[in-house]
Amino acid sequence: MRPQIVLFGDSITQQSFSSGGWGAALTDTYARKADIVLRGYGGYTSRLALFLLPYLFPLLEIAKRSPYISFKPVKLDTSKIVYSLEALHQAFKLKKPEQMVYFIQGSKKPPAATTVFFGANDAALAGRTSERQHVPVEEYKDNLRRIVQHLKECSSTMLVVLITPPPVDEEGRMQYAKSVYGEKAMEQPERTNEMSGVYASLCVELARELGLPSINLWAKMQETEGWQKKFLSDGLHLTAEGNAVVYREVERVLTETWLPASELPYDFPHHSQIDWKNPEKSFQQQQCSSI
């Protein structure tokens, strides 16, 4: 089974599979080697992301039920598998296994890696037009911590990469609002670059505290002159060039850790390695090597 790399975030992640998007570029890089799974939710904040965790990254659940004993995994449906009580009794050292039923939501392995890319909406200013999205800075950091803790409970070996919000072009936000709402457009930007920088610093700080890799997109983009129009399409979301920056940074982190695309094997043989007179043999060998 190919490893999964989940992209978890807001609209900047949701749009990453569009033409020229950073998620699409990762999919191309990891073609036939890893599955890039898009989990982007436009308008979401780190606060809302917490509600998604049990659905997107389910954990082992234990519940009291009437006795159920099976010596082999029994597939109930696409979301639950009941495992041998005796085996789980040994694994969890429970005193009364006959009183419990165990099930795991989702039969697939947890992701090998997950990017966590929230903060652009959290940084919306209180008292401005996007006030409903505002998340106080300390809560934002705590939410990220809780997300990471959940992911590590899902899999202790999962690579978690924190990505800061991008910088904000306040003039670009105003121009975009006027183009959409005309005279009813906001008179002040709902986000500022300075405040986005505060959220970015907390994201990097948390990554350092937890020993995780991070990408300081807020700082990285501002290293380039004219970043406002070069990387941002509406003062916040990304242009093709902006997506390229994110792609390069994510690909760099994955390569520097333990998921370089160049070293991952193909899921099935390259066509040049198939015995075309006896193709079944090639796939039998593949099946044996994957066991």
**Which tens digits make up the pLDDT trace of 3-46?**
999 999 999 999 999 999 999 999 999 999 999 999 999 999 99
Query: Do the beta carbons of residue 253 and residue 220 sit within 8 Å?
Result: no
Residue in 186, 185, 188, 191 with CA at minimum distance from that of residue 167: 191
Distance CA 125, CA 198 (A): 12
Ranking 26-30, 79-83, 105-109 by mean pLDDT, the lowest is: 79-83
- Which of 11, 130, 201, 282 is catalytic? The answer is 11
What is the tens place of the pLDDT at every residue in 167-210?
Answer: 999 999 999 888 887 887 778 899 999 999 999 999 999 999 99
272 belongs to the catalytic site:
no
Q: Is the pLDDT of residue 75 over 80?
A: no
Q: Is the pLDDT of residue 139 over 70?
A: yes
* pTM reported for the whole predicted model: 0.83
Q: Compare 246 and 100 and report the one with higher pLDDT.
A: 246
| 3-state secondary structure (DSSP) of residue 73 | coil
Pairing of strands 113-117, 4-9: parallel
Distance CA 162, CA 159 (A): 10
Q: Is the pLDDT of residue 267 over 80?
A: yes
